[in-house]
Amino acid sequence: MFMAQHDPCVPMTTQYQSAVWPQNQAQADAVVAAIERVENERGRPVYTKVEKPKEWHDAEWYHQDYNNKNKLRLAAAFGVFVLNNIPHGSFPGQEPLKTVLGGAVFISLLPQLVSPFDRLLSMLD
């Protein structure tokens, strides 16, 4: 499944490089077998690195639960798009709703855009 979620045959910079950290020999053997299978199927080398397990560090809070947060952000952005494309005044509260949804999208992006904001909020955790 891991090899199907991205193209491991494309060399990337270190930041975006594909890598796995097997926790035991059985996992390491399975990874090596999967890499060999993909290389044989595609006829290209796999650039996924197989490394020894490292100490785990949780990502910053704004990277946690990304899929759920992104769904909400996309839903709010879509709401703004829809409200911008229906006639003005189609229903009471249309403009305030656009403002609230647009503000929610912007605020949800702030921690990723402004790292000092992250440090300030992390002090409140």
What pLDDT score was predicted for residue 17? 83
pLDDT single digits (tens) 73-118: 889 999 999 999 999 889 999 999 999 999 998 888 877 776 666 6
- Counting every residue written for the chain, the total comes to 125
**CB-based contact 101:76 (threshold 8 Å):** yes
The span from the CA of 62 to the CA of 26, in Å, is 34
Q: What is the pTM of this model?
A: 0.49
Q: Which two tokens stand for residue 60?
A: 């910053």
**CB-based contact 46:76 (threshold 8 Å):** no
The span from the CA of 22 to the CA of 4, in Å, is 18
